[in-house]
Each structure stands twice: as C-alpha cells, then as structure tokens.
Amino acid sequence: MIVRTRFAPSPTGYLHIGGLRTALYAYLFAKKNNGVFMLRIEDTDQARFVEGAVDKIYSGLHLAGLNWDEGPDVGGEYGPYIQSERKEMYLPYAKELVEKGKAYYCFCTKEELDARRAEAEAKGESFKYDKHCLHLSKEEVERRIAAGEPYVIRQNIPESGEAGFDDVIYGRIDVDCSELDDGVLIKADGMPTYNFANVIDDHTMGITHVMRGNEYLSSTPKYNLLYEAFGWEKPVYIHLTPVMKDATRKLSKRYGDPGFEDLLAQGYLAEAIINYVALVGWSPGNDREFFTMDELIEAFDIDGLSKSPAIFDATKLRWMNAEYIRKLTPEQYIDHARPYLEAAGVGHMDMDIFVRILQPRTEVFTDITEMVGFLAKLDEDYQIDLFTNKKSKTNPEVCKSVFSEVIPLLKQLPDWTETTLHDFLMNFAAEKGMKNGTLLWPIRIAMSGQTVTPGGAIEIAALLGRDEALRRLELGLRKLS
Ligand code: GLU
C-alpha cells in the first residue's frame, strides 16, 4: 500500500500554526513512508471564502518547505484538487445513498426549520432535524424536484445503535446514533457540504491516513456511517490534539496569535519555525531538539504524537530562532538582515561589521531595528552620568580630558578603517599609561548615548564613518565642558 496523506485547508484566511503543524505531520508521515503528500482546497462553503486565501496557502506551504506531490497547481491523477471544481462528482454519490436508503431528499424551507427549532427550544429541547421528509414517497419527491422546488439531500442516520471508529490518538470513539443529526450532504445550491465532500474525496483520492485537528472528532462517526453505507474501506484516523496558547486557550488568530507568515514577518526563520512546530505535539522519543526537514522525515513516527494538548511556547521558539540565526553563514545573515538595516537607515554602513556585532545577538530579525537605532540617529539628550564607569575608571572630568586630547589626533588620521582606529587608539592608551577602557568608554558613550551597545567603540566609530563619529565626539566634549 502506498501511503497517501493530504492537507485539506479551507481558504478562509491564512496559514495558522495549528494548520501548519497538521500539514507538517501529514507531509512528514507521507515522506517517511515514501508516500504521497497531497494538497486539496476545500472551498465548498462559498460564504466563508476569503479572496487571496488560496494564494496564501500556497505561499505559506512553499515557504515552509512543505511541497506537495499532487495538488491544484501541480496536478496528479486524482484531480481536480479544488473541491469546487469537483462539484459534479458529488451528486451521483448522494443519489446512490438515496437509492440505498442512507440518504433522502428534503424540501423543508428555512422558515419551516426555524419554526420547528423555535418550538423545540420553547420546550427546552435541543433541535435536531426530525426526519420530516424521510417518508415522502418516491413519486412525490420526483414531482417536487420536477416542479423546481429547492431541496437538499440529508444523511439518514439510524435512529438507534452506535456509530464509532478507532482513532490513533484518541482510541475508540463511539457515539449513540440518536445523538447525531441528519446532516445535509448536498446543499440547495448543488454544492456538497464539507462533511460529505471530505468523505467522497478522501475515498476517491485514495487517502490512506487522515490527519486533522481534533475538532473533527465528533463528526467522524457520521463520516464512518457514510463509508459503511458505500461499503468503502476507512482511512486511518489521526486526530491531532490542539496547539494551545496556555493551559486553557487554543492558539487562535482571533486572539491575535500570529500565523506562520506573521512569524516570518516578525523576523523568524522558516526552518526554525518548522523545527519548533514539529516539537509542539510530537516527540522524537529522546531529548534531541534540532532537526532539519530531512532529519524530521527520518525521525518522524506516529507513536511520538502527543495524546494531550501541547503548548506553543513563544519564548522557546525565540530561543530556537536565535540558535538558527547563529548558524547562518555571513552571507545568509546579511540577506535576512539587510531589509531591516536598510529600513533603520543604516544600510550604507559596513555589512561585515554588522555580521560580527549583530549576528550573535539577534534572536529575531526585528531585534535589529532597535539594536542599530543609535547608529541611525543619536539621542543627543543623553545624561552625562553615563560617562561615569568604575571599571573603566572614568567620570565626566576624566572623559573631558580624554576627548580634548584624542579628538584633534583622530581628526588627523589618514583613513578611518577599523584597523587604523584600533592601532591608533591602542597606542594612544599605551603611551598615556591609561587603561584601554578609560579611553574607549567615553568614545562609545559619546557615539551611542547609551551604555549597552552591540559592538565596541572601534566598531561603532568605523560604522559611523569619520564625519559623524567626530561630530558625536565633539558633541560629547561640549556636553562635558
Ligand atoms: N477543510 C478542513 C479545515 O480547513 C479540513 C478538515 C480535514 O482535514 O478533513 O479545517
């Protein structure tokens, strides 16, 4: 048997972290078993359709490295891969169920249903479709259809007995049929409902393993009744436990939790997100934490899937991202960092220095904006107490005298490279018999207006360039005078 898994998003927005994880596990499982990972777009609910959402799904999955073997844009022998394009396929299956007595035409109008619902609620009962149209004669059904009356087709759920299935994560799930509603399979507009289409598609597309969120757990017994009605083999069900924000709340866009592309925009690397997300709800069985996609494929195993909800720990992701950033080559680092450096107004400065001083400190790329803010613009109102530092043996008075001596000499340097600045400043301190710190501390304060900076005095001076560095030093001297 060839393992075939699918990711079946509805185009209702963006790729959220739960969806990304579902797609990832379905992908890993397929690849691990030399199987096929398929993408299917579930757009039968036109009312929920969001413009541009399909493209977001494609771009999100591509950025994540989850490339599908079959799908809307790449094709495959089980297409079309967009449900609305399969529209004509569903009705014959629904009619087959009608023939078998497992489904029936229903002509109840919305008004009639609303009235019956209100009646049930008035009696304190919950409303369930009452099989009102189940007993219409074949002739009456044909007559009403021929007369152009709108209709839906409903599933005929047995009135008693149990429907159940085995789930890999949740075990055996059984429900009383009396609790299930005769749900709509084909809507008045001829479109199948999600509940019907997913069964027809999973079967006709040869899906062997269904991985999806646990919100489908309660509908799956109904799906199984459909498989049984058709006499089809059921797929293996793997309902994943939810991705939680904390002990009580699911991660959700509605509460402002970021989706996959939001995280990318916030300066996370796709590889780090994938690595982290894989571990939210799956464990390799040891304490290994770092995996490339190929290593995940190698290590992935359904037995490692968690049976309890997993918490998405933003701090842990940030830590992991920092580790990934540190492992980038200088060129890769600059590729990612450049847009942030340019936006911060320091894109013209020396990139080699940036790699050296920023890469070890970047946890997410958006950190860069704040780290280099002082380079783009000095906050000239900094306090002169910053010049006082015990370890460097400095205070405003010492700093003033350092500046008076060193600024005129700096002005005469033949060039303004890190090497020249380094050699000159080290010689100067040695000649004067002062600690390096006594010289470098005031220079760094005057050039940055802050006590903590990425990089030291020499790197900052080189980044700023001669004119701006000297302007800032002179300002420092004026503030001290
Ligand atoms: N279209 C469903 C969703 O986006 C997928 C459910 C499934 O995987 O069967 O949630």
pLDDT tens digits for range 341-383: 999 999 999 999 999 999 999 999 999 999 999 999 999 999 9
C-alpha–C-alpha distance, residues 160 and 225, integer Å: 13
Quote the pLDDT of residue 176.
95
Alpha helix (H) residue ranges in 49-151 = 53-64, 87-99, 110-122, 138-146
Measured from the Cα of 9, ligand 1's closest atom is 4
CA dihedral 306, 324, 247, 256 (to 10 degrees): -120
CA Rg value for the chain: 33
**Of the candidates 399, 396, 380, the residue with the CA atom closest to the CA atom of residue 449:** 380
Average pLDDT over residues 198-203: 98
Quote the pLDDT of residue 104.
98
Q: How many CA atoms lie within 13 A of 67 on its CB side?
A: 4
Average pLDDT over residues 311-320: 97
Write out the two tokens for 28.
Answer: 């890993």
Residues in a beta bridge with 232: none
Q: What are phi and psi of 454, to 5 degrees?
A: -75, 130
Q: Nearest-5° angle of CA 186, CA 192, CA 196?
A: 95
Residue 130 has pLDDT above 80, yes or no: yes
One-letter amino acid for residue 348 of the chain: H
Residue 52 has pLDDT above 90, yes or no: no
State the distance from the centre of ligand 1 to the C-alpha of 263, rounded, in angstroms: 22
Q: Is 82 helix (H, G, I), strand (E, B) or coil?
A: strand
Average pLDDT over residues 388-404: 97
What average pLDDT does the chain have? 96
DSSP state of 72: T
Residue 46 has pLDDT above 80, yes or no: no
State the distance from the centre of ligand 1 to the C-alpha of 10, rounded, in angstroms: 6
- Angstrom distances, CA of residue 276 to CA of 15, 16, 328: 16, 14, 17
- How crowded is residue 142: how many other Cβ atoms within 10 Å of its Cβ? 12
pLDDT tens, residue by residue, 400-455 = 999 999 999 999 999 999 999 999 999 999 999 999 999 999 999 999 999 999 99
State the distance from the centre of ligand 1 to the C-alpha of 190, rounded, in angstroms: 20
Residue 227 has pLDDT above 80, yes or no: yes
Residue 243 has pLDDT above 80, yes or no: yes
Q: Nearest-5° angle of CA 264, CA 266, CA 269?
A: 40
C-alpha–C-alpha distance, residues 50 and 287, integer Å: 41
Residue 69 has pLDDT above 80, yes or no: yes
Mutate to test the pocket of ligand 1, among 194, 196, 201, 252 (most ligand atoms within 8 A of CB): 194
Q: Please tell me which residue in 253, 316, 327, 435 is annotated as part of the active site.
A: 253
Quote the pLDDT of residue 456.
97
Quote the pLDDT of residue 256.
85
State the distance from the centre of ligand 1 to the C-alpha of 40, rounded, in angstroms: 9
Quote the pLDDT of residue 464.
98
Question: Cβ(5)–Cβ(33) under 8 Å?
Answer: no
Measured from the Cα of 12, ligand 1's closest atom is 4
- Please name the residue whose Cα sits nearest to atom 3 of ligand 1: 9
Dmax over Cα atoms in the chain, in whole Å?
Answer: 110
Q: What are phi and psi of 6, to 5 degrees?
A: -140, 155
Residue 338 has pLDDT above 90, yes or no: yes
| Percent helix, percent strand, percent coil in the chain, to nearest 5 | 50, 10, 35
Residue 45 has pLDDT above 90, yes or no: no
C-alpha–C-alpha distance, residues 396 and 388, integer Å: 6
State the distance from the centre of ligand 1 to the C-alpha of 316, rounded, in angstroms: 28
Measured from the Cα of 42, ligand 1's closest atom is 1
- Is the full-model pTM beyond 0.85? yes
- Contacts made by residues 391-399, CB under 8 angstroms, sequence distance 24+: 391/437, 392/435, 392/437, 392/438, 392/440, 392/441, 393/435, 393/437, 393/438, 394/437, 394/438, 394/441, 394/442, 396/480, 397/480, 398/438, 398/442, 399/441, 399/442, 399/445, 399/446, 399/476, 399/480
Average pLDDT over residues 291-311: 97
Residue 234 has pLDDT above 90, yes or no: yes
Quote the pLDDT of residue 13.
79
Average pLDDT over residues 241-257: 90
Residue 388 has pLDDT above 90, yes or no: yes
State the distance from the centre of ligand 1 to the C-alpha of 210, rounded, in angstroms: 10
Question: Cβ(15)–Cβ(261) under 8 Å?
Answer: yes
- How crowded is residue 341: how many other Cβ atoms within 10 Å of its Cβ? 23
Percent residues over pLDDT 70 in the chain: 100
Quote the pLDDT of residue 254.
81
Measured from the Cα of 22, ligand 1's closest atom is 8
Pocket of ligand 1 (CB under 6 A): 8-10, 42, 198, 212, 216
Q: Tell me, yes or no, if 435 is annotated catalytic.
A: no
C-alpha–C-alpha distance, residues 177 and 158, integer Å: 6
State the distance from the centre of ligand 1 to the C-alpha of 23, rounded, in angstroms: 11
- Please name the residue whose Cα sits nearest to atom 2 of ligand 1: 9
Q: What are phi and psi of 75, to 5 degrees?
A: 80, -160
Measured from the Cα of 211, ligand 1's closest atom is 8
Quote the pLDDT of residue 423.
98
